[in-house]
Amino acid sequence: MAFAAPRALHTIETRDDLGAALRLRLAGFLHSLRDSGFKVGLAESRDALSLLLSPQAASARDLKAGFRALFCGRLSDWRAFDEIFDAYWLDRGVKGVIKTSGTSTKTGGKTLREMAEQQGTRRDTLANDVDRQPGEEDEPQDEEATGRREGASLAENLERVDFRKISDPEQLEAAHALAERLARAMRVRLTRRDRQMRKGPRLDLRRTIRRSIAQGGTPLSLVRKGPREKQLRLVILLDASGSMSNYTGVFTRFVHGLLDSFREAEAFLFHTRLVHVSAALKERNAGRALDRLGLMAQGVGGGTKIGEALTQFNAWHAARVIHSRTCVIILSDGYDTGEPERMGREMAALRRRCKRIVWLNPLIGWDGYEPVTGGMVAALHHVDLFAPAHNLASLAALEPYLATL
């Protein structure tokens, strides 16, 4: 894996030029960490630059240790960091797992090591330790263990990477599969027949034991359970317009996981018109489900008329699919080409029918986003939960809220 520098820095004549190249490489590394779910702000960037300019940068091993202490605030960060560092700075390790930013991959571009060797300053820079340590090439490699580690790291990284930043086809397919598995797990937990009750007919042994831990293991407080009065029903409205193209694929697999063998759920897809797609998405095989969906949803990727779609839903479907324990989930970025007043009017009518309205907007995960469009402002007055949906972690965060309904 080669990471090339920009054309403007291909020719290095002074140590200042080399310093500029290093700073540019550091900026690309910070982008890679952010893309992989690390929290990197201005303070961390400033400290990282100080480390890069310190004597510690003479050794890649020491620099890695310093960066690890600086950037790893969670266990998942700690597990993934070494692979990201090795792939970016040392050109080895992970292949295809990390999408790097701020770097060029054009053929013929020079790497940092090549630029340093060209000017004879290799011993004074980070490239001093880019080569393998003596005897390292003779060490046996555990390919099976490496494969498992890469697979685990891929799953952990994909949990927090924005779907729009996943460009590799294999990573995208992995994200689709993870979204579906997440939805299936949520469905199982949300559709349990029993729920906790103060005077339920049966003892909930698992929760009783968990609560007894606070009393030293003595079950002073018994937790009981009984049948749910009425199952929670989900009605999902999925935006498939052009502005949602980076998210539609993952959302479709997520909705398929929820609807598969789930009686209390309905799904609708909208762009310039509304389409009832529950029958297609309840197909057990994901491939056949998506094929059927493609045949039903002509016009996917076009414009967005959310207000008009809600009008059709309220007029033709709401009375049939909504009851007193229905949660309506809208997956959309809120861009509407129609009149904001119509959006507000139809959202108000929908709110009177159902128990909750949840709006999942992938743009909330973007830095600096604010819901200022006319349609989104009109809709927010009638929304109970306005939450992000830009990665798998944000989708998983929906479950605790639904469990309380």
Neighbour tally for 110: CB within 10 Å? 19
Q: What is the pLDDT of residue 139?
A: 43
CA-to-CA distance for 323 and 325, rounded, in angstroms?
Answer: 6
**Ordered structural domains, the chain, with CATH:** 7-161 (no CATH), 195-227 (no CATH), 233-403 (3.40.50.410)
- Edge-to-edge strands of the sheet including 202-203? 194-197, 224-227, 202-203
Work out the pLDDT band at 128, boundaries 50, 70, 90: very low
pLDDT of 353 reads: 94
Model pLDDT, residue 195: 57
Structure confidence at residue 301 (pLDDT): 63
CA distance 395 to 348: 25
Evaluate if residue 238 carries a pLDDT over 90: yes
The stretch 25-40 carries a mean pLDDT of 82
* pLDDT-derived band at 328, boundaries 50, 70, 90: very high
Residue 263: left (phi > 0), alpha (psi -120 to 50), or beta?
alpha
* Coil/strand/helix, residue 277: coil
Residues contacting residue 39 through CB under 8 Å, at least 6 positions apart = 73
Percent of residues, the chain, with pLDDT higher than 70 = 72
Q: What is the rounded CA–CA span in Å between residue 59 and residue 101?
A: 24
pLDDT at 122: 34
Read off the pLDDT of residues 51-86 as tens digits, 9 standing for 90 and up: 888 887 788 888 888 888 888 877 778 888 888 888
| pLDDT value for 299 | 61
Report helix, strand or coil for 245: helix
Per-residue pLDDT of 35-44, as tens digits, reads 777 888 888 8
Q: Is 400 exposed, middle or buried (0-12, 13-18, 19+ CB in 10 A)?
A: exposed
Which residue would you say has higher pLDDT here, 66 or 293?
Answer: 66
User: Nearest 10 degrees: CA dihedral of 238, 244, 250, 255?
Assistant: 0
Q: Which of 270, 280, 287, 284 is nearest to 333 (CA)?
A: 270
Q: What is the pLDDT of residue 309?
A: 93
Query: Within 10 A of 89 (CB to CB), how many other CB atoms are there?
Result: 23
| Residue 363, pLDDT above cutoff 90 | yes
Residue 3 has pLDDT above 80, yes or no: no
Average pLDDT, the chain: 75
Residue with tokens 């990197």, as numbered in its chain: 40
Q: Please write the tens of the pLDDT for every residue from 131-158.
A: 444 344 444 444 444 444 444 455 567 7
Q: Order of strands, edge to edge, in the sheet holding 385-388?
A: 274-276, 265-270, 233-239, 326-331, 356-361, 385-388
**When comparing pLDDT for 54 and 301, which is higher?**
54
Q: Report the alpha-carbon distance of residue 327 to residue 350 in Å, rounded.
A: 11
The alpha carbon dihedral of 81, 369, 330, 288 has a sign of negative
159-204: per-residue pLDDT in tens?
A: 888 888 887 788 788 888 888 888 888 776 676 655 555 566 677 7
Query: Is the pTM above the cut of 0.75?
Result: no
The residues near 109 (Cβ < 8 Å, ≥ 6 apart) are: 2, 4, 5, 7, 10
pLDDT single digits (tens) 97-126:
333 333 333 334 333 334 334 434 433 443
How large is the average pLDDT for residues 318-338? 92
Cα(267)–Cα(259) distance, integer angstroms? 8
**φ, ψ dihedrals at 321, nearest 5°:** -105, -10
Q: What is the C-alpha separation between 103 and 88, in angstroms, rounded?
A: 10
Q: What is the pLDDT of residue 268?
A: 94
Residues 6+ away with beta carbon under 8 Å from 394: 360, 365, 387, 388
Helices in 36-126 by DSSP H: which ranges?
42-52, 60-71, 75-89, 112-119
Highest mean pLDDT of the ranges 210-214, 222-226, 242-246, 349-353: 349-353
Alpha-carbon gap, residue 336 to 165, rounded angstroms: 24
Task: Give me the pLDDT at residue 27, please.
Answer: 84
Q: Which one-letter amino acid corresponds to residue 108? A: G
